[in-house]
Structure 1
């Protein structure tokens, strides 16, 4: 998984120690963690997409390290620490395009700035929820919207929430437009890139944009 945010960087040393106790050395290849996501497309009355409501759940190991750090801060509650952490995550993701790429009929869509976000503890995992607005508001009618959410460095793997390798019903949601077909398309990386990623150690980085080859694609097709 990707090592691009300060909050991840601070917890990396602790995470590696935990992982070393639980997995073999051969398993310590990229990615080093994961984020389960759920995405809900936000539309207006005209069927234009105004934003992507995203819920990210960090993997249990990262969550454990982060919660432990926050609980060690004197004079602050966990909720206060999470409020500050949410701001740090948002600010760091802003410089990375919020890990999100959106296309409509193949055309890249400009993104707005995130102003609505929160970090919380949910089911024992660090959860970051935010609304990513689109700078333009493309019309879905007669269009195909696709998005990918990924860490460019592939230190962290970002996948849609799933059970038995099948995306959950609420992993990708669009309300009010039942005629549209929704799908989460799996990644299909070249075997050579899979091998190259597996050889990267915890302190190494792959080629620029490595994560996009391992990214799932959320797809919304509206007739």
Structure 2
């Protein structure tokens, strides 16, 4: 699959442009993503969340000015900038679909850093890091992390049983455990997403 053209990607995922036409997403998801996250910690304190999104079906949005993509490997700086401008920065209002709850309240996340786009065995992959605006000491709090879209727009699923892990210098007492987050149903209340409980 050499120099896979933009038109071929778009033919394979005609509905991918829903990220810029939200009304098309009313019936069912149009973009499918497998995610992984590494919770960056110093002792019992969370400092950032490093995420990876693997798109199952191709482009998330129609891009202007890109004729070809590599078979494998990172996109160049110009292509990455186009992806960021047209298919990533607009997700700021949705908090990049990343929900960090502390005692039931949303924890604010900072602007993403280290945004990269690679092609891995024909799949588009985003990687980036969301720093916390204020480091969070997990001890003594109910803390959970979920990655989801509340609408039918994008379907997020964990990339394997250990999709969310603790990284950095986490205290040995810290753990991450999956659970069904009944407090935050999505898809108009029809679906209960999986989240991760973080404790120390």
1:66-215 mapped onto 2 (5 Å cutoff): 70-72=66-68, 79=76, 80-162=78-160, 167=161, 169=162, 171-175=163-167, 176-186=170-180, 210=188, 213-215=191-193
CA distance in 1, matches of 2:88, 2:172: 32
Where structure 2 has 5 or more consecutive residues not aligned to the other structure, the ranges are 1-8, 17-26
Where structure 1 has 5 or more consecutive residues not aligned to the other structure, the ranges are 1-10, 19-28, 198-209
25, 28, 31: which one aligns with 1:30: 28
44, 48, 55: which one aligns with 2:45: 48
Change (3 A) 1:134 1:64: closer
Range with greater deviation from structure 2 (152-161 or 140-149): 140-149
Change (3 A) 1:188 1:32: farther
Aligned residues: 174
Which residue is equivalent to 2:198?
Answer: 220
Range with greater deviation from structure 2 (122-131 or 134-143): 134-143
Change (3 A) 1:148 1:38: same
Structure with greater strand percent: 2
Q: What is the deviation of 1:125?
A: 0.8
Maintained 8 Å contact 1:34/1:58: yes
Q: What is the deviation of 1:186?
A: 4.1
Structure with greater helix percent: 1
The normalised TM-score by structure 2 is 0.70
CA distance in 2, matches of 1:211, 1:101: 17
The normalised TM-score by structure 1 is 0.64
